[in-house]
Amino acid sequence: MHVAPHHAARVAGVCAAEILGLAGYSLVPALLPQFMEAWWLSSAQAGWLAGIMFAGYMVAVVPLVSLTDIVPARRSAKPAAQWRGKTLRHEEG
């Protein structure tokens, strides 16, 4: 099956956006050992840190997934990605 180059580039762009968009959810678990060492966290405190992050995700998912039944996913996903990008830049600066 032949795929047109512009379609392949679009698919690669969507895949890259998805990976970068979800990277924030994997950063806390991936960096948890470094957080424990730098902040002198006990295992229980580190568990709370990771748990609270995932609890916030669960609380946000229910209304946002329901929103896609009302608003097309393209219209709701782009502002969410832009907001995430702004928060990442704010965390860096």
> What is the number of domains present in the chain?
1
Is a pLDDT exceeding 70 seen at residue 93? no
Alpha-carbon distance of 16 to 85, in angstroms, equals 14
Alpha-carbon distance of 11 to 67, in angstroms, equals 25
Q: Provide the residue range defining the domain that includes 68.
A: 5-92
Among 9-18, 19-28, 73-82, name the one with the lowest average pLDDT: 73-82
Alpha-carbon distance of 32 to 54, in angstroms, equals 13
CA 14-17-19 angle, 5° bins: 110
What token pair was written down for 81?
């990605």
Give the pLDDT band (50/70/90) at residue 89.
Answer: low
Closest CA to 29 of 47, 48, 45, 50: 50
